[in-house]
């Protein structure tokens, strides 16, 4: 069999050959090692792109993604240019010049091809700390930069995980939450008894938007159990099923539900059942306590440190050599005087304070990804919805539940699918050309995805706007980029 071992310089892999019989788990490791070898070969100049729709059937976990994530970057999928995207470049460069964001990566797909992809500006500002040292010059943005995708974690990971378990008849969408979590309604409140899984998935449960950060929980040591306890006890701020009120807490509960029903940690479940079947090699949660290589952990945050003692990598862990490719976000401003990481630049750890306090893995936030990986995800979802061959790990009828209105009938304003936004105040990344019925989502760090089944088009804008103090939300730029991209492709008569 083939096994990879981390070398002393933390970057290379040595391959050994063993001929004795192997177990099922070891066979999974073999498949990964072979895949890694192909990635290394391609990186050395042999361009190899697997078929876009290759992959196991829906819901079948990959057998090749168990070992640790390494810093080896895969070749970028090719761009097949179509249309004039000058206006897109001007929009992004104008915002960079106005110091609204340090840089961005934009990728547009149409009719199964990537028609535009460009990296703009910087991923780290001049004078900010280098990954493993003092202040350093700006770093150029690259197309394979890894971003903290913040709330995109909800539709990318948590919602499809819930729906896979729904397909297996292990979760009922209209079941009360207290059916699965009696602690959700310990006081037998008749209003809390009305809250269903459907309401959590469509942000119509009435649960508050975020957990209180008062107190020192999860700062000196991550405390996932306390975060889930706090989510289950979060108060209702609105009557259930009466309106759309965006809630991180609802998706934290959904992440806990995936763990309870599947018997697996959320990060492990989505890696094996969502990301790996799609072939996403740069998409994953990055929990600090599952990092390896040259790093040290300060409170709930991981820091790249070449002088630190090398931490061995094991199955399911991630290599801290990824950190230089990750776009930094903001300086940690959570609870001065208690938080040992206070004031440090966050890079390689989720920015969202609640997810960070929970160890980097929550149903609401924590996933990191790249524009090429998200393009693969978007195209697979569009293909599944259209009935074309696809590796998207849900049935077509189930994928439609994610992308068509699913809010309770009593909610008359705003349209949400299970995970994806359709027509609410959060829909600005749709722009002015794509119609209602297209869908997408945004993330606080400065990221957005928007997909249009009618034209088989997606628009991805990834930026780290909160790396700039006072940086504005990404939605205005994302909407303008979507409009310019649709016009470049002459969609809908534009």
Helix axes 396-403, 371-386, angle to 10 degrees: 110
> Average pLDDT of each block of 10 consecutive residues along the chain (494 residues)?
33 33 38 37 34 41 53 86 98 98 98 98 96 92 98 98 98 98 97 98 94 84 96 96 96 98 98 98 96 93 90 90 96 94 96 97 98 98 98 98 96 94 97 98 98 98 95 96 98 96
The Cα–Cα gap between 298 and 485 comes to 42
DSSP 49-86: ---TT-SPPTTPPPSS--SPB-SPPPPPPPB---S--H
pLDDT at 34: 35
Secondary structure letter of residue 294 according to DSSP: E
What is the CB-side half-sphere exposure of residue 286 using CA atoms within 13 A?
Answer: 31
The Cα–Cα gap between 353 and 330 comes to 11
Check: CB of residue 176 under 8 Å from CB of residue 194: yes
Helix (H, G, I), strand (E, B) or coil at 97: helix
Task: Say which residue the tokens 């006072």 belong to.
Answer: 470
Check: CB of residue 147 under 8 Å from CB of residue 464: yes
Check: CB of residue 285 under 8 Å from CB of residue 246: no
Q: Helix and strand tally (H, E) in the chain?
A: 13, 17
Residue 140: count of CB within 10 angstroms of its CB: 13
pLDDT at 388: 98
Helix (H) or strand (E) holding 96: helix 86-97
Query: Which of these, 471, 475, 476, lies nearest to 331 by C-alpha position?
Result: 471
Strands 103-110 and 457-463 come out as antiparallel
In DSSP terms, which residues pair with 2 in a beta bridge?
17
pLDDT at 310: 86
Residue 215 tokens, joined: 């107190």
With the C-alpha atoms ordered 282, 39, 391, 482, is the resulting torsion angle positive or negative? positive
Check: CB of residue 68 under 8 Å from CB of residue 315: yes
The Cα–Cα gap between 113 and 108 comes to 9
CA 167-397-399 angle, 5° bins: 80
Write the CA distances from 255 to 112, 163, 230, 265, 270, integer angstroms: 31, 12, 14, 9, 10
pLDDT at 275: 98
Q: How many residues make up the chain in this entry?
A: 494
Helix axes 159-167, 248-262, angle to 10 degrees: 40
The Cα–Cα gap between 489 and 494 comes to 8
Residue 312: count of CB within 10 angstroms of its CB: 10
Q: Is the pTM of the predicted complex or chain greater than 0.75?
A: yes
The Cα–Cα gap between 185 and 236 comes to 11
């Amino acid at each position: 069999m083939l096994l990879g071992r981390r070398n002393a310089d933390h970057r290379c892999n040595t391959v050994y050959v063993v001929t004795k019989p192997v177990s099922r788990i070891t066979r999974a490791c073999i498949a990964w090692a072979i895949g890694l070898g192909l990635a290394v070969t391609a990186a050395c100049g042999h361009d190899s792109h697997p078929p876009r729709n290759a992959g196991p059937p829906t819901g079948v976990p990959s057998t090749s993604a168990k070992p640790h994530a390494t810093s080896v970057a895969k070749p970028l999928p090719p761009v097949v240019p179509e249309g004039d995207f000058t206006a897109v470049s001007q929009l992004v460069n104008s915002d960079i010049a106005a110091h609204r964001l340090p840089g961005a990566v934009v990728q547009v797909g149409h009719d199964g091809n990537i028609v535009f992809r460009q990296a703009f500006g910087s991923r780290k500002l001049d004078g900010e700390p280098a990954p493993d040292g003092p202040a350093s010059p700006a770093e150029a943005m690259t197309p394979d930069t890894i971003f903290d995708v913040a709330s995109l974690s909800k539709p990318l990971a948590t919602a499809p995980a819930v729906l896979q378990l729904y397909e297996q008849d292990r979760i009922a969408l209209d079941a009360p939450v207290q059916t699965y979590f009696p602690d959700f309604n310990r006081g037998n409140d008749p209003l809390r008894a009305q809250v269903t899984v459907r309401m959590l998935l469509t942000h119509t449960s009435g649960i508050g938007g975020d957990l209180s950060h008062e107190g020192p929980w999860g700062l000196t040591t991550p405390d996932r159990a306390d975060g889930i306890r706090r989510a289950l006890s979060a108060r209702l701020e609105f009557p259930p099923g009466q309106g759309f009120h965006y809630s991180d807490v609802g998706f934290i509960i959904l992440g806990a539900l995936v763990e309870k029903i599947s018997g697996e940690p959320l990060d492990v479940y989505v890696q094996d059942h969502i990301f790996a079947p799609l072939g996403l090699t740069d998409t994953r949660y990055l929990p600090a306590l599952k990092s390896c290589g040259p790093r040290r952990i300060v409170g709930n945050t991981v820091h790249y440190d070449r002088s630190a003692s090398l931490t061995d990598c094991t199955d399911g862990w991630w290599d801290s050599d990824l950190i230089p490719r990750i776009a930094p976000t903001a300086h940690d401003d959570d609870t001065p005087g208690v938080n040992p990481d206070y004031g440090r630049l966050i890079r390689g750890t989720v920015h969202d304070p609640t997810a960070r306090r929970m160890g980097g893995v929550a149903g609401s936030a924590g996933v990191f990804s790249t524009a090429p990986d998200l393009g693969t995800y978007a195209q697979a979802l569009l293909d599944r919805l259209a009935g074309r061959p696809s590796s998207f790990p849900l049935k077509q009828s189930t994928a439609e539940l994610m992308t068509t209105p699913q809010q309770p009938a009593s909610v008359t304003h705003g349209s949400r699918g299970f995970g994806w936004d359709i027509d609410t105040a959060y829909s600005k990344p749709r722009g002015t050309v794509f119609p209602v019925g297209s869908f997408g989502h945004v993330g606080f760090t400065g990221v957005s995805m928007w997909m249009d089944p009618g034209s088989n088009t997606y628009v991805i804008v990834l930026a780290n706007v909160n790396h700039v103090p006072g940086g504005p939300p990404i939605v205005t730029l994302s909407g303008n980029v979507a409009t310019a991209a649709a016009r470049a492709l002459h969609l809908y008569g534009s």
